[in-house]
Structure 1
């Protein structure tokens, strides 16, 4: 079965562009994530990190 799939994939024209597109998407995503982590303010990170520690009463009042 693997031989069939490999032979079928080799017969497709332009199949080499798909791994390049995947690599580009991966690189762009993690570059943006890296940029966001280093530009985020400490106040925002502290606020978001305390969300799981908040009481249920506070979160129910805002809904």
Structure 2
């Protein structure tokens, strides 16, 4: 799993960047997503997250960010 960084609230470009970089690493790579809570706490955030992940076609791991 590569070190991907943090995706701030509403940072769709940052999310897409991480997913694109991880996809370029090959089929065994997992995108570790440190996400602002809004990505999981709002319909808009969840919808965008789901769309971006499906479009990238990479597995993800979501972890807490302190």
Higher relative contact order (CA 8 A, sep 6+): 2
Query: Quick check: which one's helix share is greater?
Result: 1
| TM-score (structure 2 length as normaliser) | 0.25
| TM-score (structure 1 length as normaliser) | 0.26
Query: Quick check: which one's strand share is greater?
Result: 2
Point out the structure with max Rg over C-alpha.
1
